[in-house]
Structure 1
């Protein structure tokens, strides 16, 4: 799965890489976590990224699902994702992601990134969900009262079988797109076999990081620094 990632590339460099202006208030993030509002580039965006909540809910749902991942093998058939797969795709910028594995009797976080730490895009889907009106506490004239909650725009990250490196840490990994495949993904032209094939492990590195990354409350540069296991 993909449950945490980092994105600390300077805004100017991020804009250059994706040819899209990031949110004006973008700050370096070393511990992006579900439920947070994070920058994505949607298929219908023209030169500008926008923020979405990480945790997808289908538009037809009566309650929040907060689905942070979608399996590439079933995303075309699963009711939660079929509509978004056809028409609401996005890129989720990152420069690394975290996976947890058992080492020395405990569960330890590892950071996975390209060997040169270059940014990349994970394949994502997004949806707009409107919380339903109340079914209890009906108003004076017998009509449902609105909840008062805003519409929620949210995304999920696709996952696939891991490459050899990540397979030592977890049985899933994020779908990391090659730059030449990003536009094809957004426009619906990337074939499913290419989408599901993980990038070769010889382009990646994985190293242990501090267990401080376990808490989303921690978000500072020390989280991406390598550590000795058990320290």
Structure 2
């Protein structure tokens, strides 16, 4: 699963900066940043934060979108609020089958850039949060789906997204070990050289096959993790920069 992320402004801007288009970066900062919740040192998807996504229709200039995909067929705002807590993640194995995701999987794919994500580790009948990130400290490019929903009551348009997940690698198996859940799971992390393929249009069955081949676990040796302060309950410090600082718990060390 991937319900908790860190998304700094620099990580979110990484794709735009890669194109060396400073004018585009300035425009993003001026016109889009005020409508986001950035920076997010920690945020839960259940808070439905507004972030930047790079879509197949606008691959180099991001759009603001809310975490929690709302399919176009949702009938009203009450149904929307019930729906989007169930669509924070989309299981990659079934995105072309599930009614909530199949239209987006075929026609509306996007990339979300984050610094890292959080998962909870179960040990000695207690739960410990871990922060997971690339060893080289570069942003993670997460495969995602997006959807535009028109509120029939107000006419307003809500742009939303869901992070695609896949089977976790052996490194994630050491962390994401909740005995009550099928797992391990992890977000689909796109290697830099494969990012554009995720945004390619789908015209036939071969194109669908090419997208499905991108839905796979990320190499173990490119990730690392460390335990952090509590992300739930009274001990939670909130969206503060120190939330990803390492905390020494009385548990075995997890290494890649």
With the shorter chain as reference, the TM-score category is 0.7 to 0.9
The equivalences for 1:201-216 within 5 A come to: 201-211=220-230, 213-214=231-232
Please give the per-residue CA displacement for 1:59-85, whole angstroms capped at 9, x wherever unaligned.
012221111010011111111111111
Which has the greater radius of gyration?
1
Match in the other structure for 1:52: 65
Match in the other structure for 1:154: 160
The CA RMSD measured in Å over matched residues stands at: 2.4
SS at match of 1:168: helix
- Count of equivalent residues: 216
Shift of 1:11: 7.0
Q: Are residue 195 (structure 1) and residue 188 (structure 2) matched?
A: no
Q: Are residue 178 (structure 1) and residue 197 (structure 2) matched?
A: no
Q: Are residue 28 (structure 1) and residue 39 (structure 2) matched?
A: yes
Q: Are residue 95 (structure 1) and residue 111 (structure 2) matched?
A: no
Shift of 1:46: 5.2
Shift of 1:193: 4.8
Distance 2:142 2:237 in 1: 23
Shift of 1:9: 4.9
Distance 1:201 1:18 in 2: 29
Match in the other structure for 1:139: none
Shift of 1:24: 3.5
> Are the aligned partners of 1:128 and 1:154 in contact in 2 as well (CA < 8 Å)?
yes
The equivalences for 1:1-231 within 5 A come to: 1-10=1-10, 14=14, 15-17=16-18, 21=25, 22=28, 23-25=32-34, 27-34=38-45, 35-45=48-58, 47-62=60-75, 63-64=79-80, 65-66=83-84, 67-132=87-152, 147-148=153-154, 150-170=156-176, 171-188=184-201, 191-211=210-230, 213-214=231-232, 218-229=238-249
SS at match of 2:137: coil
Shift of 1:196: 2.2
Shift of 1:51: 1.1
Q: TM-score, normalised by structure 2?
A: 0.77
> Are the aligned partners of 1:125 and 1:155 in contact in 2 as well (CA < 8 Å)?
yes
After superposing on structure 2, the runs of 4+ consecutive aligned residues of structure 1 that deviate more than 6 Å are: none
Q: Which segments of 5 or more consecutive residues in structure 2 lack a partner in the other structure? A: 177-183, 202-206, 252-256
